[in-house]
Chain A
Amino acid sequence: MNNLNFISPEIFISLSIMFLLILGVFKKNSSNLINNLSIGVLLITGILILNNPFDKNVQLFNGTYVIDYLSSFMKILTILGGAFALSISTKYLKLFKIFLMEYPILILCSILGMMVMISSNDLMVFYVGLELQSLALYVLASFNKNQLKSSEAGLKYFVLSALSSGLLLYGCSLIYGFSGSTNFNVISDVMNSTNYGLTFGIVFILVGLAFKISAVPFHMWAPDVYEGSPTPVTLFFAIVPKIAALTVFIRFLYVPFINMTDQWQPILIFLSIASMIFGAVAAIGQNNLKRLVAYSSIAHIGYALAGLSVGTNEGIQSSIVYISIYLVMNLGLFSCLFMLKRDDQYFETIDDLSGLSKNHPILSLSLLVILFSLAGIPPLAGFFAKFYIFKSVIEQSMYFLAIVGLLSTVIAAFYYLRIIKVIYFDKEKEKYDTDHSIWLKISLAFSTLLILLYFIFPSKLVEIVSRINII
């Protein structure tokens, strides 16, 4: 019975999903209500998570499920991302006539899956969570059923994701075969670094996970899926699943396989360097903002992985700081994307931003701040995110990784600058609508101010994160 208290957030969210589903079936035209209720559910779930004691490391159900500071922090991030995604996307969905009651419920389902992933301490539990979130995401990607591109995105994501899940399962079975257990703690006890079977298992699982966070060379799906999905879903894709997958990365690498660092570290460094360089170079030629976000998220994941590859608590913490700031920056960027609407049509290419600063000075200023922050220019939040990563990387004398990472920020700066150039230096176009929902304005103002003023209290976030000690 004690165990159930600790997973009250998960229980609450699953009961709510069922209730909302029934409500949606029996009550006509209830999508607006369900959307609002879902946001409420997320907030209550957040409170329930905060209610858990998070200084302790609580192992539930024979050690297959773990509630600790890491899981609580990451769940809060996931829920915040989900709540913002729900609250700012209604207008878009209504316009495309896809504001259905399934949409918020699917988002809740995938968040439930992610919460299970984040807390999992066992390969089976982790896999169940992963599949739940993926299944919801397949449907979400093809949610705009009237558009060919969206269906294509969903199908593409499904096929490739199924393949990667297969690889991941194969890795799980290898590890089970060579260690005799699926539990992370047990694996860590019986582990023996001369065992090549385990190494193979790690490689397969890393491949599967790298696919989920779209790290190079397993990124191929990302640009197409990001472009094809409805923008609210792209926003969700860009931030929330990455938080969950990154947590699994941390737990998987640092709990059972902490003593095999020499085996997985080169793989992670490769993934990191490849993602940073590829994300920076490939984004240069893009004209569609959603595709560009896809490539830039590949590059950003590269930096987060650089922090993970270090193998120290500081590295993990820097990576978590990075992903938190990344969440805020992307939230701001997508809020801007939602504001590019004119005559019931959304615009999403770089050319549509042309001369934006003349007609919409505040929006342009926010975009300026967000883009410079994404490029990592001080004194904005994005700089501090990168700064912590490189601080922990250089601590372990991994100079090559640091220098490659910083040089690719210079390349990446080029395409962010290109957007700023279009906004500020080019000829103006027609005005966009200004009747945005209050939530959109709030989320834009919130993220911009957070990015801009981060330098005044830079240690607040780090202090919170520094309580996460895995090793």
Chain B
Amino acid sequence: MNFPILSSLILLPTIGALFLLFSKDKNSNTSKYVALFTSFINFIISIYLWFLFDPSTSNFQFVEDKEWLKGFVNYKVGIDGISILFIILTTFITPICIISVNNTIKNRLRDFLIAILVMESLMIGVFCSLDLVVFYLFFEAGLIPMFLIIGIWGGTRRVYSAFKFFLYTLLGSVLMLVAIISIYWLSGTTDIVQLYELGIDDKYQNLLWLAFFSSFAVKTPMWPVHTWLPDAHVEAPTAGSVLLAAILLKMAGYGFIRFSLGLFPVASELFTPLVYVLSLIAILYASLVALMQEDMKKLIAYSSVAHMGFVTLGIFTITQQGIEGSIIQMISHGLVSAALFLCAGVVYDRMHSRLIKTYGGLVSVMPKYSILFMLFTLAALGLPGTSGFIGEFLILMGAFKDNFLVAIIASLGVIFGAAYMLWLYRRVVFGNLTNKDLLKIPDLDSSEKFILWSLAIPVLFFGFYPEPLINTIEVSVKDLIEMYNFNLNMSMTEVQNNE
């Protein structure tokens, strides 16, 4: 029996969106319940998928292969240990986004929900596509709903931010399209599984790697092409920021693991120093910039840049610990940054200001909020016992194995991270209550409490017991590294033979 479970995961949110599109009411809660119901069903299916998933093999599972562009591209989806976690992250974050729109989205709620659901479909598609063209299709199509989310429901400078987001990402991606078509003409297929076996000729790898890199680096985002991210985050509505930080950024990290390492081992080996340098700059520079921010969302956005710097660093150590750490860091960052943006959103809804100096002394009026915010702050700086720690620790372990100096510099980033997060927390929550308006604001309401706790529980759970995550990815990562080293040695011996 081959029930197309992955395709139904991809399609279900779109069907929900279509249902909303043809419904009459525009602003009432009914559409919210429909959207919530759809995304929740999707979450259940993905959890069920995790149970069915067999972590003892690195082969792709639940594969569906259908003819699509005749004789050229097949619609092929499937998952391994790496992608399933991202799918669950997506299906987990989306309902949370939908619950969080309660207070933030005032007009055209239905359209917003449609955009979110379509986005969910596309993101799941990115993580399970096993064909370069299908991947590109999902990867790029995500631009449309995100552009609308930022542009329609964003803040004052939303138009500028939406354009910047769209054009930056598109510019990066078109080069990837050239590379994908070139791969087709070099190897005769765009099927990833076949490409893993065939390998790609060494002399083309460098250019192809750079073309993919241009796309992923913008999306990650790496220094110096990170500048769209703070703008997009600041202007996007809370739910948009959450989607962007929690999932969209992970597409690039996933792409690095799946494509850059998997397809171009020789080039990856060559360009590792470049990635190291850019990651270290991202970690240190973004941390320092984050220290100086006066806008809460901007600070969290820069902290995302720094965290993603750790992720790229970990991936390119090409060690078991490094890559596992990167994946766990991405999952953890998905939860924590989502929570931090929601925390910023909670006070923004009450005070309509993102400036840190508006706040101060919140602990006396919003004690429950302060506790949860504390938890996520600590998770963001990687305190042991939170999922952030596991990721950073594994990445640094991998980095020490590979290059001592790099690891030392990266560790500095951890200290900076603690500095800006704790300082943010101190300025917002502690101190004297100077702003009298703050006295009137209520503490968390039940839906806010619910979403923040449902993010806090996995953060703590995986902080103490990361076993389920590591079990899922272990074999896949191990085989990926084995394949990487095998291909690398192959081309080394070829070079020696030629000499």
Contacts and interface: CB of A to CB of B under 8 A. Distances in A.
Contact of B137 (A406, A455, A463): A455
Interface string B135-152: 011001101100110011
B457 interface: no
B167 interface: yes
A132 B363 CA distance: 83
Interface string A390-418: 11001100010011001101100110010
B151 A421 contact: yes
B109 to A, nearest CB: 14
B424 interface: no
B163 A414 contact: yes
A459 B175 contact: no
Contact of A379 (B137, B175, B181, B185): B137
Contacts of B137: 378-379, 383, 455
Nearest to B26: A361
B174 interface: yes
A424 B151 contact: yes
B174 A410 contact: yes
Contacts of A459: 67-70
Contacts of A379: 137, 141
A458 interface: yes
Contact of A425 (B141, B143, B158, B174): B158
Size class of the A contact interface (CB-based, 8 Å): 20 to 34
Contact of B163 (A402, A407, A417, A463): A417
Interface string B120-147: 0000000000000100110011011001
A383 B133 CA distance: 12
Contact of A462 (B69, B152, B167): B69
Contact of B175 (A391, A406, A417): A406
B178 A377 contact: no
Interface string B417-431: 000000000000000
A463 B170 CA distance: 29
A410 B171 contact: yes
B178 A394 contact: yes
A372 interface: yes
A395 B170 CA distance: 23
A468 to B, nearest CB: 16
A420 B136 CA distance: 23
A390 B178 contact: yes
A455 B175 CA distance: 22
A179 B162 CA distance: 58
A407 B174 contact: yes
A424 B163 CA distance: 13
B145 to A, nearest CB: 11
B189 to A, nearest CB: 13
Nearest to B148: A424
B99 interface: no
Nearest to A421: B159
Contact of A377 (B68, B140, B171, B175): B140
Contacts of B493: none
A288 to B, nearest CB: 21
A414 B140 contact: no
B163 A421 contact: yes
Size class of the B contact interface (CB-based, 8 Å): 20 to 34
Contacts of B68: 458-459
A459 B71 CA distance: 9
Given A421-B163, A425-B152, A413 B170 contact: yes
Contacts of A407: 171, 174
Contacts of B170: 377, 409-410, 413
A378 B159 contact: no
B192 to A, nearest CB: 18
A399 B140 contact: no
Interface string B165-206: 011001100110110011011000000000000000000000
B141 A463 contact: no
Contacts of B147: 417, 420
Contacts of A399: 178, 182
Contacts of B174: 406-407, 409-410
Contacts of A462: 69-70
A463 B178 contact: no
Contact of A424 (B143, B152, B167): B152
B248 to A, nearest CB: 16
Contacts of B178: 390, 394, 399, 402-403, 406
User: Residue among A372, A378, A390, A409 with the most chain B CB within 10 A?
Assistant: A378
Contact of A421 (B133, B140, B162, B185): B162
Contacts of B69: 458-459, 462
Nearest to A418: B163
A394 B185 contact: yes
A455 B141 CA distance: 12
Interface in A420-471: 420-421, 424-425, 455, 458-459, 462-463
Nearest to B182: A394
A40 to B, nearest CB: 35
A399 B141 CA distance: 24
Contacts of B141: 377-379
Contacts of B162: 421, 425
B162 to A, nearest CB: 7
Contacts of A410: 167, 170-171, 174
A121 B110 CA distance: 57
A402 B147 CA distance: 26
Contacts of B158: 425
B83 to A, nearest CB: 20
A383 B143 CA distance: 13
Nearest to B211: A403
A420 B147 CA distance: 10
A378 B166 CA distance: 13
A406 B174 CA distance: 6
Contacts of A390: 177-178, 181
A395 B140 CA distance: 23
Given A390-B177, A390-B178, A424-B151, 5 more contacts: A387-B181, A394-B178, A406-B175, A413-B166, A458-B68
A-B CB proximity, top 9 nearest: A406-B174, A459-B70, A378-B137, A394-B181, A378-B140, A425-B151, A410-B171, A378-B141, A379-B141
7 contacts: A391-B184, A406-B174, A406-B175, A407-B174, A417-B147, A421-B162, A455-B137
Interface of B: 67-70, 133, 136-137, 140-141, 143-144, 147-148, 151-152, 158-159, 162-163, 166-167, 170-171, 174-175, 177-178, 181-182, 184-185
